[in-house]
């Protein structure tokens, strides 16, 4: 197995890891009312699974992050060069960066370093300290709103199904788990964007927040509805881990070019 194939195999572990994190988030909100984000889910799993599970999580998320960044730069998923394709590649880049940060958090937890808190809120607090920081916060809110709109569009059109093996994509439960999952994620991004915009307007970083803040902000039964959607997204991610059609990242060619320069 060459380097490209190994990265693709590890990326499947990344999809499974993403699914596991969303299942944990959903089950916590549905069973206990406890709101968490992917960072909190990693910490929760680390407490129960120990170093080995954290190592698997870190490996899977690292591969997934690299694969998503490669998609953003090399268009390995063949999104195209039009506006829609550019937005999908930009979203892939953001996703890749986020999942690499999550992988780093898993490594830090293996070293005994606890999470520093809500990343969105910390980012807003840092931005507020800069000249014109409120404008940067509002720009971040617009990005979150755009990502939310893209997720909702995927839920409505079912465009995510084109990446699955055709026989699996035709299964109704797969279609609806994906639609519910992307719709829930879209709502989380939109609400997070709203909270971030309010933080920028009021210049109060504490108003901002990511998924954990959104789930805490929602009242019953809306938190449970979103929780069910996130549960569906976790299940769909597990389907993707097995049945998504992945294009290899040209790692071997890059390695050959790098070694030939020596």
d(CA 214, CA 112): 28
The tokens describing 73, both together, are 């730069």
pLDDT tens-digit profile, the chain (262 residues):
577 778 888 889 999 999 999 999 999 999 988 888 898 898 888 887 678 889 999 999 999 999 899 888 888 887 777 777 788 888 888 889 989 999 998 898 888 776 655 656 666 667 666 666 667 778 888 888 988 998 999 999 999 999 999 999 999 999 999 999 999 999 999 999 888 888 777 666 666 667 888 898 888 899 999 999 999 999 999 999 999 998 777 655 544 544 555 5
Strand partners, 195: none
Angstrom CA distances, 186 to 29, 73, 149, 240, stand at 18, 24, 6, 19
Given this model, what pLDDT does residue 77 score?
A: 80
**Size (the chain), residues:** 262
Given this model, what pLDDT does residue 254 score?
A: 46
Given this model, what pLDDT does residue 255 score?
A: 47
**What are the boundaries of each domain within the chain?**
3-248
Q: 123: left (phi > 0), else alpha (psi -120 to 50), else beta?
A: alpha
Given this model, what pLDDT does residue 110 score?
A: 86
Given this model, what pLDDT does residue 128 score?
A: 65
Given this model, what pLDDT does residue 258 score?
A: 41
């Amino acid at each position: 197995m060459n380097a490209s194939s190994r990265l693709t195999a590890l990326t499947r572990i990344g999809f499974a890891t993403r699914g596991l994190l969303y299942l944990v988030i959903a089950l916590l909100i549905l069973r206990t009312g406890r709101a968490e984000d992917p960072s909190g889910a990693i910490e929760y799993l680390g407490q129960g699974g120990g170093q080995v599970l954290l190592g698997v999580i870190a490996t899977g998320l690292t591969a997934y992050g690299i694969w998503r960044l490669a998609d953003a730069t090399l268009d390995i998923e063949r999104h195209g060069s039009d506006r829609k394709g550019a937005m999908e590649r930009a979203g892939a880049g953001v996703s890749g960066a986020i999942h690499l940060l999550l992988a780093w958090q898993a490594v830090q937890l293996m070293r005994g370093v606890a999470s520093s808190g809500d990343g969105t809120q910390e980012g807003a607090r840092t931005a507020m300290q800069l000249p014109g920081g409120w404008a940067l916060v509002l720009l971040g809110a617009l990005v979150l709103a755009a990502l939310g709109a893209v997720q909702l569009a995927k839920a409505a059109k079912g465009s995510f199904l084109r990446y699955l093996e055709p026989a699996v994509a035709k299964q109704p439960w797969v279609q609806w788990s994906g639609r519910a999952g992307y719709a829930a994620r879209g709502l989380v991004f939109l609400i997070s964007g709203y909270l971030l915009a309010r933080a920028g307007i009021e210049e109060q970083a504490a108003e901002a927040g990511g998924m954990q803040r959104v789930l805490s902000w929602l009242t019953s039964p809306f938190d449970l509805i979103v929780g069910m959607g996130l549960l569906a997204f976790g299940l769909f991610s597990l389907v993707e881990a097995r049945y998504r059609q992945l294009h290899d990242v040209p790692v071997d060619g890059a390695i050959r070019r790098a070694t030939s320069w020596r």
